[in-house]
Amino acid sequence: SLYAPPLMTSLYALLRERCGLSLREAADLHGVSHDSVVSWSSGRRRPPTGVIAELRALYVRIENAADQIVAMADEAGPDITIELGLASDDAEAQSIGWPYVGAQAAALGVGAALIDNPVTIVPRGSTAATAAAADRHDRRRSRRD
Cβ–Cβ contacts within 10 Å for residue 4, how many? 6
CA 26 to chain centroid, in Å, comes to 13
The structure's pTM equals 0.80
Identify which of 59, 140, 50, 129 has the alpha carbon closest to the alpha carbon of residue 98: 59
pLDDT tens digits, one per residue of 76-93: 998 999 999 999 999 999
Averaged pLDDT, 32-54: 95
Q: What is the pLDDT of residue 6?
A: 57
The DSSP bridge pattern shows strands 119-123 and 82-86 to be parallel
Q: Who contacts 79 (Cβ-Cβ below 8 Å, separation ≥6)?
A: 117, 118
Give yes or no for a contact between 100 and 93, defined as CB atoms under 8 angstroms apart.
Answer: yes
61: amino acid identity, one letter: R
